[in-house]
Amino acid sequence: MDASMAIVFGLLLFTMIMLVLDIIRIDLIAILVMLTLGWTGILTAQETFSGFSSNAVIAMIAVMMMSHGLSKTGVIDRLSQRIVEIVGAEEKKIVISISLIAGILSGIMITVGVAAIFLPVVLRISRKQKIPASALMIPMGFGAILGANLTMVGSAPLIILNDLLIGEGMESYGLLAVFPVGAALMIAGILYFRTMGDTILPKRKNQLEQQSYQEKLMNHLDLHRIIEYYQIPGHSSLHGKTVETSGIWQEHRLHLLGIHGNEGTMYAPWRGTKLYAGQYLAIQGQKETVESFARKHGLKKATVKTLFPSLGDTESSGFVEAVIPPRSQIAGKTLREFALRKRYAVEPLMLFSQGKRIEEDFSDYRIRQGDTLVLHGLWDHIAELHDSEDFLVITPFEKSTKLPGKTWIAAACLAAAVIFTLIGAPVSMAFLTGAVFMILLRVLKIAEAYQSVDWKVIFLLAALIPLGAAMQKTGAAEWLADHIMSTIQGGPPILLLIAVALIASFFSLFMSNVGAVVVLVPLVTNMAFIAGLDPRPVALLAAVCASNSFMLPTHQVNALLLSPGGYRNADFLKAGGGMTLIYLIVVIVTFYLFFI
């Protein structure tokens, strides 16, 4: 071992200790290691910063941009809603379903691409179902990594393996040669989360207890959360009446948030809007009062929440407080005279005026400067209210930026990127091309694309790549593998399989999995020849275990989930430690019984 190897091993040990102790940000640790490799002369300046131009990093930037584009168009909303509709709201069922779907897709798509697509889906489900994101992210990411072993094109190590085998004069593997291993890993992974999920998955208390501003406002003002849906049958007494003459405000103190009929969906309908048989109503108020109103008018209970997708969705609609500023046009007028619903399509729920709280129908109450209205509406409608000079919206809200008209364009850009990878294009080229198409076709603004990138993750990956390069350049990786292999020479075949699996798994934590395969395949094939074994399955074992990277957020998928899941290094050690052990057992046993 020369001095350069000693430095590399020292940095490797330093990285392991710091990641376990978790006392310095992981991206800063990676940057310190990268700079040390440059200052010690082990790597040239170009090699030191080569990670920033690597395929892995460019691919990560591109998938983050594309993920944001898909989220903007509403694709993610529909997918997350569909998953919940199929599997239900139970946390364990959602965890298993997301893991399974991500795993299956990873068999034909690049793993990090699958994770990038499902990242906003998981966040959406987390918010809607009140499940901590930290309890969903790891199962999805691990499922994607496991599923990459279903086919020989699911992961980069398996793809490069066939090239290496052909270069060694051996026969390459067919597309589904590795399927039994991948299927066994997927089943084991799902059982792991099914039985141990409550123990190993972090559930941040602050995530569970943290209330949004909307929830605080609803609790403070005792606003009703429940929205009931009814249909007007032909015999109903509401048929032919207007919203105002129905008595919904005056007699029942309820609020009609929406009407759906032949002409589409209307939110916060104007008082003069006609009600007809066949229409669906979205009514907000106390459950008992709503039911009493429905009985009085012979309304039919309906389960048509999908007709009003924006109601009850805090990302699309909600409550705000709006103060009447000086020189407002509504000051001195009534809601009836100003026609608030007709102008802005927002529903007035409450009025604070001269120290009084007014909840009954205040359509004819004179609004004064300084009064505060509590309103409900779509964020787009609230934004119009906010931009006017008549109201001062004091509740923070985020204007919806969804572009439903661009849904198919965004989906086509993603499909094109996936097809490019399937026909052999580098992942970085394929997905960056898809991201640029999204920008050119106005799914994304270029400023939004830049803002969607999590630079902590980018620096983490870019700064760790040189450590793997240094292990290869100095011969440290080969030296370590060679010494371990020499100690087991002459032992039983199972010992060789265990050694190969352990070395490949260890290398995958600190160097690129492709680099690990490139270093290991020549060594393990020679050892297999000496042991009298077929070298192809042993090489395949090394390639499969090069994806056994769960214990640290150094794998691309784990790094992508680090910030959105609010994870610490210890979380990956806890959940990934068990997964790594199960992975090793399943793979070694499967290869010993069916491949060797």
Mean pLDDT, residues 575-596: 94
Q: Where are the beta strands (DSSP E) in 467-568?
A: none
- 568 assigned to some structural domain: yes
Per the CB < 8 A criterion, the answer to whether 512 and 594 are in contact is no
Cβ burial, residue 246 (10 Å; 0-12/13-18/19+): buried
309: pLDDT strictly greater than 80 = no
Degrees, nearest 5: CA angle 313-317-323: 145
Per the CB < 8 A criterion, the answer to whether 553 and 572 are in contact is yes
pLDDT for the residue numbered 209: 42
Give the CATH number of the domain where residue 244 resides: 3.30.70.1450
pLDDT for the residue numbered 399: 64
473: pLDDT strictly greater than 90 = no
Asked if 472 and 459 sit in the same domain, the reply is no
Asked if 459 and 471 sit in the same domain, the reply is no
How many independent structural domains does the chain possess? 4
Per the CB < 8 A criterion, the answer to whether 321 and 397 are in contact is no
Say which residues have a Cβ less than 8 Å from residue 25's Cβ, sequence separation at least 6: 456
pLDDT for the residue numbered 404: 65
- Tell me if residue 435 falls in helix, strand or coil: helix
- Interval 162-211: pLDDT, tens: 888 888 788 989 988 999 999 999 999 999 999 999 899 987 654 444 45
- 220 assigned to some structural domain: no
127: pLDDT strictly greater than 50 = yes
Mean pLDDT, residues 101-111: 86
CA atoms within 13 A on the CB side of 7: 18
Cα(565)–Cα(457) distance, rounded to whole angstroms? 13
Mean pLDDT of the chain, nearest integer: 87
- 137 assigned to some structural domain: yes
Mean pLDDT, residues 117-142: 87
Asked if 372 and 429 sit in the same domain, the reply is no
Per the CB < 8 A criterion, the answer to whether 346 and 340 are in contact is yes
Asked if 389 and 525 sit in the same domain, the reply is no
212: pLDDT strictly greater than 70 = no
112: pLDDT strictly greater than 90 = no
pLDDT for the residue numbered 272: 92
Mean pLDDT, residues 317-338: 92
Cα(80)–Cα(87) distance, rounded to whole angstroms? 11
The residues with which 347 forms a beta bridge, in sequence order, are: 376
Cα(586)–Cα(569) distance, rounded to whole angstroms? 25
Asked if 589 and 477 sit in the same domain, the reply is yes
Structure tokens that stand for 474 in this block: 């100095």
569: pLDDT strictly greater than 60 = yes
Mean pLDDT, residues 125-137: 86
- Best CA proximity match to 55, nearest among 422, 415, 425: 425
Q: How far is CA 222 from CA 65, 133, 346, 464, 500, in A?
A: 40, 28, 19, 51, 62
Mean pLDDT, residues 370-374: 94
Say which residues have a Cβ less than 8 Å from residue 292's Cβ, sequence separation at least 6: 252
Cα(384)–Cα(362) distance, rounded to whole angstroms? 23
Alpha helices in 298-390 (DSSP H): 335-338, 340-344, 379-387
Q: Which domain holds residue 428?
A: 44-205+414-465
- 562 pLDDT tier (thresholds 50, 70, 90): confident
Asked if 170 and 54 sit in the same domain, the reply is yes
End of a domain among 465, 482, 507? 465
- 423 pLDDT tier (thresholds 50, 70, 90): confident
End of a domain among 244, 272, 307? 307
Per the CB < 8 A criterion, the answer to whether 283 and 255 are in contact is yes
The count of other CB atoms within 10 Å of the CB of residue 365 is 16
Asked if 489 and 564 sit in the same domain, the reply is yes
Cα(508)–Cα(274) distance, rounded to whole angstroms? 66
- 7 assigned to some structural domain: no
Cα(327)–Cα(369) distance, rounded to whole angstroms? 8
- Interval 46-101: pLDDT, tens: 999 988 988 878 888 988 898 888 877 877 667 777 787 788 778 888 999 999 99
Whole-angstrom distance between the N-terminal and C-terminal Cα of the chain? Answer: 34
pLDDT for the residue numbered 323: 94
Asked if 589 and 473 sit in the same domain, the reply is yes
- 13 assigned to some structural domain: no
Asked if 382 and 251 sit in the same domain, the reply is no
Which H, E and C letters describe 380-431, residue by residue? Answer: HHHHHHHHCCCCEECCCCCCCCCCHHHHHHHHHHHHHHHHHHHCCCCHHHHH
Structure tokens that stand for 468 in this block: 């793997």
- 27 assigned to some structural domain: no
Residue keyed to tokens 């309820």: 254
- Tell me if residue 318 falls in helix, strand or coil: strand
- Tell me if residue 239 falls in helix, strand or coil: coil
The count of other CB atoms within 10 Å of the CB of residue 196 is 14
* Longest CA span, the chain: 96
- Tell me if residue 53 falls in helix, strand or coil: helix
- 406 assigned to some structural domain: no
Mean pLDDT, residues 150-170: 85
- Interval 216-263: pLDDT, tens: 777 878 777 678 999 999 999 999 999 999 999 888 889 999 999 988
Cα(431)–Cα(425) distance, rounded to whole angstroms? 10
Mean pLDDT, residues 438-453: 91
Percent of the chain having pLDDT more than 90? 45
Asked if 431 and 527 sit in the same domain, the reply is no
pLDDT for the residue numbered 208: 40
End of a domain among 307, 342, 367? 307
Cα(179)–Cα(176) distance, rounded to whole angstroms? 5
Say which residues have a Cβ less than 8 Å from residue 424's Cβ, sequence separation at least 6: none
Asked if 495 and 573 sit in the same domain, the reply is yes
556: pLDDT strictly greater than 90 = no
- Tell me if residue 354 falls in helix, strand or coil: coil
Per the CB < 8 A criterion, the answer to whether 26 and 573 are in contact is no
The count of other CB atoms within 10 Å of the CB of residue 408 is 12
Asked if 300 and 321 sit in the same domain, the reply is no
Which of the residue ranges 196-205, 306-315, 444-453, 464-473 would you say has the lowest mean pLDDT? 306-315
- Interval 514-545: pLDDT, tens: 778 877 888 888 888 878 889 999 999 999 99
Cα(153)–Cα(162) distance, rounded to whole angstroms? 10
- 36 assigned to some structural domain: no
The residues with which 318 forms a beta bridge, in sequence order, are: 377
Cα(438)–Cα(447) distance, rounded to whole angstroms? 13
pLDDT for the residue numbered 211: 55
DSSP letter, residue 503: H
The residues with which 376 forms a beta bridge, in sequence order, are: 319, 347
